Structure 1
Amino acid sequence: RAPRGRALPWRRRTSGCCSRCDCTATCTPSSSRRPPASSNGPAGTGLCPERDFKVECGGFSERPVYSLKYVPDTSLLVTSGPPDSSLQVWQVSAEDSDVIKSVSTIATENGTGQSWAKIATISARAPWVLHGSRLDRVQITEVESRKNVYTAASQGSEELSSLAFLDCNLLLLCCATGRLCLADTRQPQGLVEAVPAPSAPCSEHWCMGTRHAAQGSEPSSQPVARLSSRGLLALTDLRKTSEFLAVAKARVPSPGSGAEFLCVSWAPALEGYLAISGFDGTVHVYDTQSWDSSGREAEPIFIHKGHVFGGAGGSRDPPLVTVHTWHLQKPRTLLSAASDGSLHVWDWVQPCGKCG
């Protein structure tokens, strides 16, 4: 999430730091597993732009960027962020240019005064963006024409934390309360079903993570992971919502002032693995295949602590991981960003005795 006026860079990994956690942006190629304290030191002591990363292309946003999504099969990006629920559309220029250009804004009805929009993208029929900040303000807009193609009707106005396309017809919406709602674009203005929130204190904030369906399988067959601000993880099969597939408690610190950076994501190339972040400066990786419905504490199989020691922004406050995502082809490679401006691309190694 980029602060106001900051560039939107693409960075390419060119070096690593160790066999257990191979990362860039605050790590230096050495035998030590502790990243350097500064990213601006001389060669061998910190991050050197000429050696450790390269900005491929970038642009400047005049407003905070809280969410950024690539539109598949296009050269377009969609971003959202305060102070309202409008969307910004960007174009990544051709190879002979290093500029990401702002090309349009998607305004939303009654967007002024609303919180920033959560977004998801797809290009099954046309480049679409699913967006909304509350349950009664969810719609699909065609990115290039800015034409509204679908609106999901709802009598509730709950705050939304996550949105996802399950396929070109099915939409999944997660409320901050943990409630899941399914919508079908073939049923105009219809919010079809709701999955109750896990039993938890009302003050908890929830987000969700979905996994792309395997080729030939039903999109609803993929488990949905929900993560609460207390670290509770609940796995749900949308075909049978009356019970949980598994429930576990992540080993995380107590939530701080807010839960806006909660993030849970499924590994696209590893069965049963997910990662969580947003509690502190770390990213936890879990293997869910042995979980049950007991709600016992789960032991992470790997914790990335690079942001804690990196100090890329020079701030005295401990950095907070604001978002992470998995590499689509490399099974054990993740990307993560933190509140100090650091960006890491890192690998983790399966502990001995558990290698597949």
Structure 2
Amino acid sequence: GGGSWLDWSSFRGFSNLYYSGLSGLCSERDFKVECGGFSNRPVYSLKPVPDTSLLVTSGPPDTSLQVWQVSAEDSDVIKSVSTISTENGTGQTWAKIATISARAPWVLHGSRLNNIQITEVESRKNVYMAGIQTNSEELSGLAFLDANTLLLCCARGGLCLADVRQPQSPLEAASVPWAPCGERWCMGVGRGPQGSDSQPIACLSSRGRLTLTDIRKISESLASAKCKVPSPSSDAEFLCVSWAPALEGCLAVSGFDGTVHVYDAQSWDSSGGEAEPIFVHKGHAFGPGSSRNPPLVTVHMWHPQKPRTLLSAASDGSLHVWDWVQSCGKCG
């Protein structure tokens, strides 16, 4: 119960998944459940561990992580295999997580700047811990940029870079003058040009402000816009912004209502004017019972290969896989 999770690795059996204003999803035709399991606690985040059959989840009421194994092909069970406990995790908000398998299967996790660590998933051995510090800002997201570099986003908008090769170093969020006080922020990290050290970052606030920056100078705003969404977010904990992996300059935004907005950010400048979405997915807003209790999109993500295919989940338990129609001259 509570929250939603999704990941393309959990949908290996899908085929012909499509949603538009003219055709809807049919569970018998469009996808089947290959394997599943039960969690005795809410799942707010799920990440596959690359190159393994393992998944890591997190959620209330504390910062511990649950490790799951997707069983062999002759079984339909996703089974719980271990729990990664954290010191002083009781009473803290649930842990944000990211995974990588560069050296070994690792999970980066933490709920605040002063409890960031990396744990080896299979052995549960701690391989990195940030230095003791007084800064206890709440985190809204974190990411591996590569095997050595971490990017952390604070709920108040600050961004922080950390180096795995410098354990015990205190973490300090960079000053970001473009992040007004009183708003909650989240981030999405995109892919830079091949061979470049550039990586785009999109930061989204609970009032619908979008600021674009770059990993090379995270305190500088390169472009900004105001999303055309209700303001402020009804539940800022589910704010989500993500870059399209296969479309240059395209990003999606959710967490304000029952919709997902797609934007083309290539023409944005520093004016911060209102941006028009090039597509709005409204499928969740028209589900059974939505007129009495409108659902909130809790998370979305892009298909890693199919340029215009996204997956989204909402607070009413609905799960949509959908495509959007290309407009002339937009996103690719």
Query: 1:57-68 residue pairs with structure 2 within 5 A?
Result: 57-68=35-46
Cα offset, 1:213, TM superposition: 4.4
Identify the residue that residue 300 of structure 2 maps to in structure 1.
324
State the match for 2:199 in structure 1. Answer: 222
Aligned to 1:73: 51
> Where does 1:298-313 land on structure 2 (aligned, <5 Å)?
298-311=275-288
Partner of 1:43: none
Q: Deviations over 1:48-87 (max 9, x none)?
A: 5433431111000000000000111110000000000000
Q: Residue in 2 aligned with 1:44?
A: none
RMSD (CA atoms): 2.4
Percent identical pairs in the alignment equals 76
Which among 182, 206, 216 is matched to residue 203 of structure 1? 182
**What does the per-residue CA deviation read over 1:208-234, in whole Å, with 9 as the maximum and x for residues that have no partner?**
00124454332xx11111000000001
Alignment pair present for 1:267 and 2:266: no
Matches within 5 A, 1:166-315: 166-191=145-170, 194-218=173-197, 221-311=198-288
Q: Using CA pairs below 8 Å that are at least 6 residues apart, which structure has the higher relative contact order?
A: 1
Question: Residues 241 and 251 of structure 2 are in contact (CA less than 8 Å); yes or no, is this contact kept in structure 1?
Answer: yes
Shift of 1:106: 0.1
In the alignment of these two chains, the number of paired residues is 329
| Among candidates 86, 91, 98, match of residue 108 of structure 1 | 86
Distance 1:88 1:50 in 2: 31
How does the TM-score come out when normalised to structure 1? 0.86
Structure 2 CA distance for aligned equivalents of residues 226 and 354 of structure 1 = 22
Contact 2:98 2:109 in 1 (8 A): yes
Distance in 1 (CA, whole Å) between partners of 2:223 and 2:233 is 26
Tell me the distance in 1 between the aligned counterparts of 2:261 and 2:177.
Answer: 22
Q: Provide the C-alpha distance between the structure 1 equivalents of 2:46 and 2:137, rounded to a whole number of angstroms.
A: 23
Structure 2: distance between partners of 1:82 and 1:246: 35
3-state SS of paired residue (1:146):
coil
1:83-117 CA-to-partner distances (Å, cap 9, x unmatched) read 00000000001111111010000000011111100
Secondary structure, aligned partner of 2:32 = strand
| Separation of aligned partners in 2, 1:120 and 1:236 | 21
Uncovered stretches (5+) of structure 2, i.e. residues with no partner: none
Q: Find the counterpart in structure 1 of residue 2 from structure 2.
A: 3
TM superposition shift of 1:241: 3.6
Give 1 or 2 for the bigger CA radius of gyration.
Answer: 1
Within the alignment, does 1:138 sit opposite 2:138 as a pair?
no
How far apart in 2 are the matches of 1:140 and 1:212? 23
Match of 1:83 in 2: 61
| Partner in structure 2 of residue 165 of structure 1 | 144
Q: Which moved more, 1:6-15 or 1:196-205?
A: 6-15
Measured after TM superposition, the shift of residue 353 of structure 1 is 4.7
- Residues 1:198 and 1:355: Cα distance change in structure 2 (over 3 Å): closer
Q: Which amino acid aligns with 2:140?
A: S
CA distance in 1, matches of 2:49, 2:121: 9
Q: What is the identity, as a one-letter code, of the residue corresponding to 1:335?
A: L
For 1:148 and 1:337, how far apart are their aligned partners in 2?
32
Using the size of structure 2 for normalisation, the TM-score is: 0.92
Query: Which structure 1 residue ranges, 5 or more long, are not aligned?
Result: 17-21, 36-46
